[in-house]
Amino acid sequence: MDDGVSRMKMMDCVELKEEAEIEGMTAEEGHSHSEDDHDHDGDAHDEDTENHEEDAHANDEDEHNEDEHGQVLEYDEHVWTSPVNAAAITTAIGEKMAELDPAHAETYRANAADYTEKLMALDKEFGDFFDTVSNKTMVFGDRFPLRYFADEYGINCYAAFPGCSTQTEPSAATIAFLTEKVKEEGLKTVYYIEFSNHLVADSIAEATGAKTALFHSCHNVSKAEMDAGATYLTLMEGNLETLKTTMK
């Protein structure tokens, strides 16, 4: 039924990647890429939350396609974690708004161009930073919704769960693998994402002598963050500052 509302999907604006299945991860129980069953309903949070720039994201959930063998491919919907993707999405939004409201088309395009310029400057900052890093390895004692970010900058990532997992307790094998990876790579930090209880990251850090640090996926923000004026740019700039103090 047409409700008169125009919609667009962020996932239609960029090249999609399958959800990462990284060595050592605890697989989702009963999960396979032939099943259409992933969601975020099982995420338990104790904080007041607000979805950040997620109106379009709500339509990106459960995005699937079939490969040539008829097997369902499950794409990672966290496309915005790459600033380059965020720039492409911004441009697409500007064009869509211009199409819907031609009288103000140039304003939409100008605003989109201004924000895109800031996003590409952010991309350059990340790129310049990672050019100085000898070991581009990150371990997440948490879910991993950051494939697009990792691929953008050539980072080797290991994590406890896939990005859309609803699990909170990794297997003993996963804990052992990630602990050994931290030791093997000589890492000083184990990362967790927003709204995590970071118990897994804490456990790995305790076993290895590493510290823990938040890396924001920009999927959700707290009410306090919203009230403080958090934006994609401020959150990602915060991530960059975190990396500068934890990967050097």
pLDDT tens digits for range 76-91:
999 999 999 999 999 9
Asked if residue 46 has pLDDT above 90, the reply is: no
Distance CA 166, CA 142 (A): 11
Second-level CATH architecture of 1-248: 3-Layer(aba) Sandwich (3.40)
Domain ranges of the chain: 1-248
Local confidence band at 168 (pLDDT 50, 70, 90 cut-offs): confident
In this predicted model, which residue has the larger pLDDT, 10 or 1? 10
Contact 98, 105 (CB under 8 A): yes
Asked if residue 69 has pLDDT above 80, the reply is: no
Asked if residue 211 has pLDDT above 90, the reply is: yes
The whole-chain average pLDDT of the chain stands at 86
- Predicted confidence at residue 50, as pLDDT, reads 44
29-43, 113-127, 177-191, 205-219: segment of lowest average pLDDT: 29-43
Handedness of CA 96, 108, 80, 164 (dihedral sign): negative
Edge-to-edge strand order for the sheet containing 137-144? 156-162, 137-144, 189-192, 211-214
Distance CA 191, CA 231 (A): 21
CA distances from 207 to 23, 60, 169, 188 (A): 20, 38, 17, 12
Local confidence band at 137 (pLDDT 50, 70, 90 cut-offs): very high
- Predicted confidence at residue 4, as pLDDT, reads 77
Distance CA 131, CA 107 (A): 36
Distance CA 89, CA 11 (A): 9
Asked if residue 15 has pLDDT above 90, the reply is: yes
- Predicted confidence at residue 200, as pLDDT, reads 97
For residues 45-71, average pLDDT: 45
Q: Residue 145 CB: number of other CB atoms within 10 A?
A: 27
Local confidence band at 54 (pLDDT 50, 70, 90 cut-offs): very low
For residues 126-134, average pLDDT: 98
Of all residues in the chain, what percent carry a pLDDT higher than 70? 81
Contact 217, 194 (CB under 8 A): yes
